[in-house]
Amino acid sequence: MNNELRIMQNIYYDNSATTKVDPKVLKAMLPYLENEFGNSGSVHSFGQRALAAVDEARDKVANFFGSEAQEIIFTSGATESNNLAIRGVVDNAIKGGQKVHIITSKIEHPAVLEVFKYLEKNNLVETDYVEVDENGVIKLDQLEKKIKENTVLVSIMYANNEVGSVQPIESVKKILKQVQNDRGEKGLPLYFHVDAVQAVNHLDCNVDMLGADLLSLSGHKIYGPKGIGALYVRKGVKLAPIVFGGHQEYNIRTGTLNVPGIVGLGVAIELVAKEKGPSKLKEKLVAELKNISDIKFNGDLENQLPNIINISFLNAEGESILMMLDMEGIAISTGSACSSGSLEPSHVLTAMGIKPQWSHGCIRISLGRFNSEAEVEPFITALKTTIEKLRKMAP
Amino acid sequence: MKYTKKLLEHFQSPHNQGKIKNADGVGEVGNIKCGDIMKLYLKVGKNKKGDDIIKDIKFETLGCAAAIGATSMLTDLAKGKTFDEALNISKDDIVKALGGVPPIKHHCSVLAQDALKKAIASYKTRNS
Ligand SMILES: Cc1ncc(COP(=O)(O)O)c(C=O)c1O
Ligand code: FES
């Protein structure tokens, strides 16, 4: 191999993992990392200028979700938002020693599933996991049947991060509304948490339309900085804090506010709101990918995020595909068993019932704001070469 | 996960990759856990002392970069060796020759070693 003659690409197709900070976001943040360093909790002018910036960002986030500013709580990211939503509801509900029941799906992000497992292991709650169909969409009839008298929380993601399948959130809303109506106004509240991390860039996130009582958002998936996120908490929803300290964020999420991060998140979400409809990049890529033999597209193709393609190649292993493309300067991700710490295929692919020979060669291509049409051709060429090479190596 | 330069070299341009037609011994192993499959082909010859040696060896692997790198390295280590010498190549020898392999990927090297054992055994059964 003549290394000098190889042209390195610089193609980033892993926008579901994280996104590049938008230059406009960075520009807005910089003053708050320099001279505007005040603590938004301070009474003096330094503090008050920081507080004004936080308030402005809070308005922008609230505006995006169609909520009140006081319903937005800033966190360190969606992992914390999910933890706070679930544990906050549970800790509050079990205060009197009641045994409560919570429901989620089998394809949630670990930031939901691991909280459920922790609560279950420590005997703090009863749990149920709704299954999905072969397209990675939750089975609504199962959800309906699993709701019990003591169910206090249902947590369902808006769109899945691996296969991009959009979940029937409005139908969940209807089911939960009916249960709440039957329980009556004085009955046990049944809250609905939506992990909207992957949906924010593409789908309507109005909390009333969704029927969400709690909704998680992450900065670094929407061209904002890492380490900042938010949780929407509907007025009247009672959450117990999971960290204890000062009085920030209505005592629900204490700790000095990440002012530069919050400013960045505000601008990031404003830019998302202004963005025009989805690009045609996905269609172009899908059309090209169809020319490769022995492939299978995963996910709900009728109702999939416009930036995610999940595809399996027979007789080529996912991590090898990833590594080989990486050597060409192309970034994608994989859910194959070889790439996971447990040597099991991704829990999402498994829940969808995808056969091992297909999950073995699965990759995710996730597009973003800074991808261009010019990348399609070199990507497809590199991918075809990679698949051909790996298939030739296979027995 | 961090692979060494050596491993990546073998992954990108594997040595002794392919089939041997009319091979004297073939060993195929599979890893039920992650779905990896490896196949080794041997051509057997004699050294000056008249012992059986691995005159040629080729591999086919469906698996991760570590599996491909390990089989490629193993074929390098085994080529020209007597059966006893080849069977003495341990997982650690492969890992060392690759300049290290992430611990979670050691099983891929074990698999390569198993494939070689099977290939030699298949030759022995055929010729006994
Ligand atoms: C659906 C979903 N939920 C939660 C998270 C966690 O977000 P964060 O990285 O902000 O903690 C991610 C990101 O990996 C995600 O895709
Ligand atoms: S072949 Fe699966 S981890 Fe190496």
pLDDT (tens digit, 9 = 90+) per residue, A135-186?
999 999 999 999 999 999 999 999 999 999 999 999 999 999 999 999 998 9
Residue A6 located in a structural domain: no
| CATH number for the domain harbouring residue A109 | 3.40.640.10
The boundaries of the domain holding residue A349 are 11-19+276-393
A286 lies in the same domain as A170: no
A262 lies in the same domain as A300: no
The percentage of residues in chain B with a pLDDT greater than 90, rounded to a whole number, is: 86
Residue A41 located in a structural domain: yes
Residue A5 located in a structural domain: no
Where does chain B show beta strands of DSSP type E? 25-31, 36-46, 52-62
Return the SS3 of A252. coil
Inter-chain contact B62–A317, Cβ cutoff 8 Å?
Answer: yes
- The answer to whether ipTM exceeds 0.85 is yes
Whose alpha carbon is nearest atom 16 of ligand 1?
A161
d(CA A336, CA A363): 8
| Beta strand A100-105 pairing with A72-75 | unpaired
Secondary structure (DSSP) of A244-280: -SSSTGGGTS-S---HHHHHHHHHHHHHHHH--S--S
- Exactly one of A209, A323, A327, A338 is catalytic; name it: A338
Residues of chain B scoring pLDDT < 50: none
Written as one letter, the residue type at A270 is E
A34 lies in the same domain as A15: no
Whose alpha carbon is nearest atom 13 of ligand 1?
A17
Residue A118 located in a structural domain: yes
d(CA B36, CA A29): 47
pTM above 0.90, yes or no: yes
A222 lies in the same domain as A284: no
Q: Read off the pLDDT of residues A70-115 as tens digits, 9 standing for 90 and up.
A: 999 999 999 999 999 999 999 999 998 889 999 999 999 999 999 9
| CATH number for the domain harbouring residue A375 | 3.90.1150.10
A8 in contact with B, Cβ within 8 Å: no
- pLDDT band at residue A6 under the 50/70/90 scheme: low
**The last residue of a domain, from among A253, A272, A291:** A272
B34 is catalytic: yes
Residue A33 located in a structural domain: yes
Q: Where are the domains of chain B?
A: 5-126
Residue A2 located in a structural domain: no
Q: How many domains does chain A have?
A: 2
CATH architecture classification, B5-126: Alpha-Beta Complex (3.90)
**The last residue of a domain, from among A272, A289, A320:** A272
CA distances from A32 to A46, A255, A257, A268, B99 (A): 11, 17, 12, 15, 45
Tell me which ligand sits closest to the C-alpha of residue B105: 2
Residue A378 located in a structural domain: yes
Q: Read off the pLDDT of residues A114-140 as tens digits, 9 standing for 90 and up.
A: 999 999 999 999 999 999 999 999 999
**The last residue of a domain, from among A217, A242, A272:** A272
A126 lies in the same domain as A176: yes
A50 lies in the same domain as A97: yes
